[in-house]
Amino acid sequence: FQRAYFIGTVFEKRAIFTGRQFLAATDFGVLRGDRTENGVRSPDKPAVFKDIPHFHGCKFHQNTSFDGAVFETPLDQEAARSFRTLKLAMEQLKATSEEQRFFRLEMKAEHPSLPLARRWLSGLYAVCSDYGFSLLRPLAALALSTLLIASLHGALVNHQSGTVGLQSWVFTTPDFDRERTWQWMRYVLIDAIPVPGLDRVQIELREALFGKNGGIATAAMLLEMLHKLIAIVCVFLFGLALRNLFKMKS
């Protein structure tokens, strides 16, 4: 192919470009509104792949773009291999954003055929970080897990102090224990922010809230370990999303 534009093209069946060479500018993306049709500015028109695209063995020109293209392909191993081919091709062109996009599509296509344990982990990876491309999802996961574990810790504190129900956590009630509430809040925040150097403070707060020994102290420690693990994973996923979105590569 010399110069080739597939803007607005809908590939209803498999698009087979195997072994082809693209010798000049090639665009599978969208029409960005800088052209007009009958005097009217054109809307974005994505190229749409309804089935698996085959680009195995292709040679791409450096001015090749899949930006905005829509892939409605079935999710299976064949699609994963096709996206892997495009990922490696974009890596050779140093097109980092395109490479990352095809990596994400490859992960999505592989998901249904993975063994149960790996499929479960892949699903969590997708939900919590959109395969390492969402800044919001890791923060939301950390916030939701913190609220849940904080409520469980609050129930343990109430049980340890002999308080029944949640009335001691309501600021307007006579039973409100301000000091114990602030201790509980500090304890939860230290859990949620994995910063080194706060271990001694956390141990002191844990002993004050849950005691040194017994089932309640043990349960609180297990919840603390779980919370720290979730926090570390969420911070890692947030950093990974920053790296991917700003196209930083090791």
Amino acid found at 181: T
Global pTM reads 0.71
Across residues 199-227, what is the average pLDDT? 85
**The tokens of 199 are what?**
């271990």
Measure the CA–CA gap between 91 and 83, rounded to whole angstroms.
12
Q: How confident is the model at residue 172 (pLDDT cuts 50, 70, 90)?
A: very low
pLDDT above 80 (res 198):
no
Q: How confident is the model at residue 60 (pLDDT cuts 50, 70, 90)?
A: very high
Query: What proportion of the chain, given as a percentage, has pLDDT over 90?
Result: 34
Q: How confident is the model at residue 49 (pLDDT cuts 50, 70, 90)?
A: very high
CA angle (88, 92, 95) in 5-degree steps: 90
Give the gyration radius of the chain's Cα atoms: 26
Whose CA is closest to 192, among 234, 158, 164?
234
More reliable by pLDDT, 103 or 179: 103
pLDDT above 80 (res 15):
yes
Structure-token match 């791409």, residue found: 60
Contact 49, 11 (CB under 8 A): yes
**The tokens of 196 are what?**
């080194």
pLDDT above 80 (res 48):
yes
Contact 222, 181 (CB under 8 A): no
Mean pLDDT of the chain: 83
Q: How confident is the model at residue 174 (pLDDT cuts 50, 70, 90)?
A: very low
Distances (CA, A) of 96 to 3, 27, 32, 172, 246: 22, 17, 21, 55, 10
Q: How confident is the model at residue 88 (pLDDT cuts 50, 70, 90)?
A: very high
| Least confident among 159-173, 192-206, 226-240 | 159-173
Across residues 74-80, what is the average pLDDT? 91
Q: Could you tell me the sign of the dihedral formed by the alpha carbons of 135, 140, 145, 147, in that order?
A: positive
Q: What is the pLDDT of residue 176?
A: 53
Measure the CA–CA gap between 213 and 198, rounded to whole angstroms.
21
Across residues 59-86, what is the average pLDDT? 91
Measure the CA–CA gap between 115 and 152, rounded to whole angstroms.
33
Q: What is the pLDDT of residue 246?
A: 77
Q: How do beta strands 36-37 and 40-41 pair?
A: antiparallel
Query: What proportion of the chain, given as a percentage, has pLDDT over 70?
Result: 86
Q: How confident is the model at residue 35 (pLDDT cuts 50, 70, 90)?
A: low
Q: What is the pLDDT of residue 201?
A: 82
More reliable by pLDDT, 137 or 186: 137
Write out the DSSP string of the chain. --SEE-TT-EE-S-EE-TT-B--S-EE-S---S-SEETTEEPPP---EESS-EE-TT-B--SSEE-TT-EE----SHHHHHHHHHHHHHHHHTT-HHHHHHHHHHHHHHHGGGS-HHHHHHHHHHHHHHTTTT-SHHHHHHHHHHHHHHHHHHHHHHHHHHT--SSGGG-TTSTT--HHHHHHHHHHHHHHHS--TT-HHHHHHHHHHHH-SSSHHHHHHHHHHHHHHHHHHHHHHHHHHHHHHHTT---
Q: How confident is the model at residue 137 (pLDDT cuts 50, 70, 90)?
A: very high
pLDDT above 80 (res 175):
no
Q: What is the pLDDT of residue 247?
A: 67
Amino acid found at 30: V
